[in-house]
Copies of this chain bind each other. A is one copy, B any other.
Amino acid sequence: MQVAILTVGDELLAGETENTNASWLARQLAERGASVARILVVPDDADTIATYVREWAAEFDAVLVTGGLGGTHDDVTMDGVAAAFGRDAVVDADALEAVTESARAFADANPDVVDEYDLDLDLEAWARMPEGARMLDNPAGLAQGCAVGTVYVLPGVPEEMRATFEGVAGEFSGDAVSETVYTPAPEGALVATLAELRDRFDVVVGSYPAPRGTPNRVKVSGSDPKTVRAAIDWLEDRVETVPPPESDRRPGDA
């Protein structure tokens, strides 16, 4: 399964925020065996969003859009996605109910804020989505997500994005597997060995120099776990390997 990730937001284009939403989603997809083909940041502009959603919905198996949901003027993602499908953005009855309930819970929990700021939310603005879309519940905030065919729209606030994605995570899958080894050998000493590895096995080989010094990292990916394992065995017979450096260790690493 090939997936494109489209993140919306001027603040990402200004370099003010690392795009941790994209890398988090990419890891979730990789864990499920799906492959990420593109990660793109675009401004808060409905036409640009519409252009990429239309093009990528046709080109890839799924598109994940995140950011630009909500009730302020710069939240134009729903309009962009609607335009990509030639639909209008309308108030969704289920979403309006969810937003109303969330707003009521917020008001109950924060009576001072509601009083002080004369908070009068335009709940309908938070409940808009492309006509006929399937609402995706956001258990962590006001902005509800949606899916239109294979295009999934998620909120941009990280905890809301994660909570909304969890509800549809099961819809993403694939047969991509990978294994990674670390080596103290300089990248320049690996060239011939890695070329032969690619000739012998039906795998993709990535070679990543360490930011400073070694160990360098070699990642072998493919669609057949046995082939990937055999390629790693072949490589380990020819190249000295070491455990991952502390900074690269993840839960589950040996």
Interface-lining segment among A89-97, A130-138, A180-188:
A180-188
The prevalent SS among residues of A at the interface is mixed
Is A254 part of the contact surface with B, judged by Cβ < 8 Å?
A: no
Looking at the complex, which one of B73, B120, B209 makes contact with A195 (CB distance below 8 Å)?
Answer: B73
Report copies per complex. Answer: 2
B41, A14: Cβ atoms closer than 8 Å: no
Kindly report which residue of chain B lies nearest to residue A17, judged by CB atoms.
B23
Kindly report which residue of chain B lies nearest to residue A204, judged by CB atoms.
B10
Is A159 part of the contact surface with B, judged by Cβ < 8 Å?
A: yes
Given A13-B36, A211-B159, are A117 and B186 neighbors across the interface (CB < 8 Å)?
Answer: yes
Kindly report which residue of chain B lies nearest to residue A217, judged by CB atoms.
B11
B14, A30: Cβ atoms closer than 8 Å: yes
B74, A118: Cβ atoms closer than 8 Å: no
B11, A15: Cβ atoms closer than 8 Å: no
Encoded as 1 (CB less than 8 Å from any B CB) or 0, chain A from 37 to 76 comes to 1111111100000000000000000000000001111100
B118, A191: Cβ atoms closer than 8 Å: no
B26, A15: Cβ atoms closer than 8 Å: yes
Question: Which of A14, A26, A37, A40 has the largest number of chain B CB atoms within 10 A?
Answer: A14
Q: Could you pull out 25 A-B pairs where Cβ atoms are within 8 angstroms?
A: A10-B219, A11-B219, A12-B26, A13-B35, A14-B36, A15-B22, A15-B26, A16-B23, A16-B27, A18-B18, A18-B20, A38-B41, A40-B41, A70-B187, A70-B209, A72-B191, A73-B191, A74-B206, A117-B186, A118-B189, A119-B186, A120-B188, A125-B191, A157-B209, A159-B211
Starting from the known contacts A15-B36, A113-B186, 14 additional A-B residue pairs (CB-CB under 8 Å) come to: A11-B206, A37-B43, A38-B41, A38-B42, A39-B40, A44-B206, A73-B191, A73-B195, A73-B198, A73-B205, A73-B207, A74-B207, A119-B189, A125-B191
